[in-house]
Each structure stands twice: as C-alpha cells, then as structure tokens.
Amino acid sequence: MNPGLDYGASALNALQKWQDVTALNISSNVYTGHKQQVVAFEAAGGTKDASFDNVMQAVTPKAVVTTDFAPGKVIPTGNPTDIGITSAKGFFKLETPGGDVVYSRDGEFHFNQDYTLVNKQGYIVQANGGAIVKNPNKGEISINPDGKVYQGKTLINQLTLYDFNDKAALIKVNGGYSFPPDKPVPEEAVEKPTFLQGALEHSNSNPIMEMVALIQVSRAMESNMTAMKSLDEQMGRAIQFLNPMG
Amino acid sequence: MGLAIYAGGTGMDAEQINLDIIGNNLANVNTVGYKRSKAEFQDLLYQNVQAIGADSGTGNEVPTGVQVGNGVKLVSTSKIFTQGELTLTNEDKDIAIDGVGFFEVTMPDGTKSYTRDGAFKVNSNGEFTNNSGYLISGFQSLPADAQKIFVSDNGQITVQSASGSQTYRLPIYRFANPGGLKSIGGNLLVETDASGTAEQGNPGELGFGTLKQGYLEMSNVKPVTEMVNLIVAQRAYEMDSKVVQAADENMSKINQLKR
C-alpha cells in the first residue's frame, strides 16, 4: 500500500537496536575488559511493491552491530593479582572447568584454593607453560611488563596473549569470547605482549559518546515518527476525498 | 520491546551494590585489620538476536550471528588482602602480622575463625582473647604473677613472671585464596570451599609474615580512592537511570503513533 510507512517502521526498528546497544555500552562501562558494540546503518533491499518493481528499488535501513576490540584505558588498582593488558592486541586464554577455551581481556584474577591463577568465573589462566601455580612457601608473585612471571627471583612462567585474524567470528560467552565449536578459528600468539601488574583495562566505551547517541536515537525516532504520522494523515485525507459519502 | 530499559535497570542494580560496598569500606576506614572489598562485574549472557544464516525478512534486522547483551551483573565481591599500615600503640598485647597470615580464633561453639585484628586482651583466667572474648589459638595462659610479655618477629613468646619464665612459639595460619574467606562480622573470617583449608605455620618462615608487638594493622581502605570510586559509581548510576528514562520516553512516543 504505502511503502513509506514500512520504511519508517524499519528505521524505528533499526534505531531501537541502536538504543539497545547504547544502553548495553553504558551499563557495561563498569565491567573491566568490556568491549563496546558499535552500530552502523546500511541500506538493505526492503519491501518490494509490485507496482514499484520496475520504477524504484525499495530500500530500508538495516542496523549492523559489531564489537569494537580497540583497547581500553588501563587504570591502576594496586591489587597484585589484577593484570592489565597494555598491548593493543591479544586476549588472555582461559580454560573452563569443562575444558572449553575462553578468550578475554579482563585481567581481574585471583589465586584459587589450589594456588592457581584463575579469573572471577574460576576459569584457569593459560600461560605459555600452562597454568600459573604459586608455591605458598616462596612469597608473592610479580609480573614483568613483558609478561615474565616471577616468584621471588625464580622465573616460573610466561604470560601469553592470543589474537585472531577473524575477530568478527568471535561469539560472546560467559566470561569472555569463544568460537562456535563447528567453526574454530586458529589462534596466533601475539609477539611481545605487554602487561601492567596491579592495573585493569577498563571498558573501551566512551560515556560521553554514548549519552550523545541516546539523544541522537531519540531525535531520529521522533523525525521518523513525524514522517509516518504525516503519511498516515495524507492517507486519511485521500480516503475522505475519494469517498465523500463516508 | 527493546532490551535497553532492562540493560539500564541491570546497570542500576549493579551500581547500587557497588555503592553499598564502597559505603561499607568507608565506614570501616578505622577498623583494625579490616580488608577492603571490591565489586567485580561481568556482562550478562548474550541473546542470539538472529541465528546464523537466518533469513533477514524485511531487511531491517541485524546481520547473521549477531548477539546483543542483556546488561551487566555483579559476579562477586572479593576482599583485597594488601597490607594495612602498622600503627604503633606500645600496648604489649597488641600484635600485628606484617605479611601473610591470620590468627586463629575459637568461637563459643568450638568452630574456628580467623582474623588479622591483633588487639588482644587477657581474661580472668589469664587466657588471650580478642575484643569479643573469644580465645586465640596457640597462646598459653598467663601466670597470675606475669610481669612482662615479649613477642619476637618469628613468633617466639616469652613471659617473665616472679616465679620464672615460659617460652613458646605462636603459630599463624594462611589460606590459598584469602579472598574466598567468608566474613562473619566482628573482624572474623571463616574458611569456605573457595578459600581452601587453613595451613598452620610459624611466623617468618616459608612465606609467612612476621609478628610486630606493640603495633596494630590498620584498615587497608584508602579514603581518597574510595571517594573517587563513590563518585564514579554514582555517575554510572545516573547514566544508567538516563538510559531507562530515554527508553521509556521513546516507547511512549512510539505508542503515540497510533492516533
């Protein structure tokens, strides 16, 4: 009937997706290692009206959501088991109790009851030489900026980061990112990763930009709705004009 | 309905608990042996908005395999066991642990709890107790005519009295994961599955801390840091509330589409 109304509705749907993503970025701002999602709008072939087929190609906006893996700010916490990644690339590799592998940039770690370094979900941190296990009789752990793990003066392990060519294939799982089991992507060790002990990488979302996005979404919704209302009114007038008896 | 209003709501919930934790830290800024807590967050499980390879219908959907999250949740609160400052009290029954370790306290029901609060007292039987009157493990009763108590760094306790002197060593205890200990109030902590079991040792040996007589370990809460955290948490709460408000206003506008 009137494709304009459909376009308006598509735009509203896409804008609502943008609003969802903005809300998520704002509420997740407190979550260390969180990577913001970004929305891009692109044109997509939309509804096809038979009468329009040869005249114009109907186009509706489509919201494309991707994850922005840019590094966040690394802020000191003073807690020795917090490890911030200061190199732009790479993820910590973690192993779940079920043996699955999860990748994350969240370095909020602890030593568990077996003196093994784990993240807050209890997943074991996988360094170059396997899990990082502390000997309780030999004092505290210290980590060099290049990832060498020392206990006292003894080198006990080397932290490693992994990166991927196709980060878009990563899916979000509890505690980090992973791949669908049927579509594994090979991991590559990052060359010369850098770390900062006693610091955490914060979310890379920018609260100011997110608040601006909230306003933009709201205003864009308003203008789309105004357009839809005036189309609706036009149709109403046309019906009245063509049907004076009604 | 959009997820935005719920995501904002989960953010407010999480910040509320964060504020509670910061408030508790600030309240305990002068509590002997108190260890600051911190809130740890993670994102909520993601929804598969559209399954991989599904038809995009009218073209206004997100592309294949995209997941949109549901907000944020508090995953744990953990205690940070960094050393608190040692303050000189010159009280001979005040003992601070410098480094790793806890004193063991016997509760009235016979179970054990652990503390770093070394402000000890002596009861009418000559037994060492904490401020609540619970017995401290490892101490021998003071003779009625005791004159002086010396505590060395390695836990050697020497009591001089008119009738002679007694010497013994005070054990302290440690845990693999002290952050996993459960706080039961009164500066006391009890072991859990997550903390591991208590391991006894001598002060100054095999990674255990040393004892400092005449000192107390103050809280490791840094008021300025907590105030900054308070401001950040409050602003985050405010932003989350704006999200809820904006999502609500937009829904209300959409409802007005229909004349």
Determine the number of helices (DSSP H) and then strands (DSSP E) in chain A: 2, 19
pLDDT tens profile A221-237: 999 889 888 988 888 88
pLDDT band at B115 (very low <50, low <70, confident <90, very high): very high
Using the beta-carbon criterion (under 8 Å), do B41 and A78 form an inter-chain contact?
no
pLDDT tens profile A93-152: 999 888 888 899 999 898 888 889 998 888 999 988 888 998 888 878 889 899 899 988
Q: Give the residue on A whose Cα is nearest the Cα of B194.
A: A113
Give the E-state strand segments of A12-168 in sequence order: 37-45, 59-67, 74-76, 83-85, 92-95, 101-104, 109-111, 117-119, 124-127, 130-131, 141-143, 148-151, 154-158, 162-163
Q: Give the residue on B whose Cα is nearest the Cα of A227.
A: B257
Query: Is residue A76's pLDDT more than 90?
Result: no
Bridge partner list, B122: B128
Closest Cβ opposite residue A19 in set B2, B75, B257: B2
Listing DSSP states for B14-36 in one string gives HHHHHHHHHHHHHHTTT-TT---
pLDDT at position B113, please?
92
B243 touches chain A (CB under 8 A): yes
Closest Cβ opposite residue B58 in set A46, A136, A172: A46
- Of A40, A63, A68, nearest in space to A205 by CA: A68
Q: Give the residue on B whose Cα is nearest the Cα of A106.
A: B42
pLDDT at position B227, please?
92
Closest Cβ opposite residue B239 in set A26, A34, A60: A26
pLDDT at position A50, please?
55
Query: Is residue B78's pLDDT more than 80?
Result: yes
* Residues of chain A found within 8 Å of residue B195, distances taken between Cβ atoms: 113
Residue B104 distance to chain A (closest CA, Å): 19
Closest Cβ opposite residue B243 in set A23, A63, A120: A23
Q: How far apart are CA A64 and CA B60, in angstroms?
A: 10
Using the beta-carbon criterion (under 8 Å), do B60 and A32 form an inter-chain contact?
no
pLDDT at position B173, please?
92
A232 touches chain B (CB under 8 A): yes
State the Rg of chain B over Cα: 27
A152 touches chain B (CB under 8 A): no
Q: Give the residue on B whose Cα is nearest the Cα of A219.
A: B250
Q: Give the residue on B whose Cα is nearest the Cα of A23.
A: B4
A205 touches chain B (CB under 8 A): no
pLDDT tens profile B134-182: 988 888 888 878 788 888 888 888 888 887 888 888 899 998 888 888 8
B255 touches chain A (CB under 8 A): no
Mean per-residue pLDDT for B213-240?
Answer: 90
Judge contact between A103 and A178, C-beta under 8 A. Answer: yes
Residue bearing the bigger pLDDT, A118 or A61? A118
A203 touches chain B (CB under 8 A): no
pLDDT tens profile B4-55: 888 888 888 888 888 999 999 999 998 888 988 888 887 766 655 444 444 4
B52 touches chain A (CB under 8 A): yes
A225 touches chain B (CB under 8 A): yes
Residue bearing the bigger pLDDT, A137 or B58? A137
pLDDT at position A113, please?
85
Closest Cβ opposite residue B59 in set A22, A45, A113: A45
pLDDT at position A125, please?
92
A54 touches chain B (CB under 8 A): no
Listing DSSP states for B171-199 in one string gives -EEE-S-GGGPEEEETTEEE--TTT---E
Angle at A98 between CA B68 and CA A124, to 5 degrees: 85
Segment among A30-34, B10-14, B57-61, B179-183 with least mean pLDDT:
B57-61
* Residues of chain B found within 8 Å of residue A171, distances taken between Cβ atoms: 46, 65, 67
A64 touches chain B (CB under 8 A): yes
pLDDT at position A35, please?
85
| Residues whose CB is less than 8 angstroms from the CB of residue B80 and which lie 6 or more positions away in sequence, other chains included | A78, A79, B35, B36, B37, B38, B179, B220
Judge contact between B14 and B44, C-beta under 8 A. Answer: no
Q: How far apart are CA A98 and CA A104, in angstroms?
A: 17
B7 touches chain A (CB under 8 A): yes
Using the beta-carbon criterion (under 8 Å), do B18 and A22 form an inter-chain contact?
no
Q: What is the pTM of this model?
A: 0.76
pLDDT at position A53, please?
52
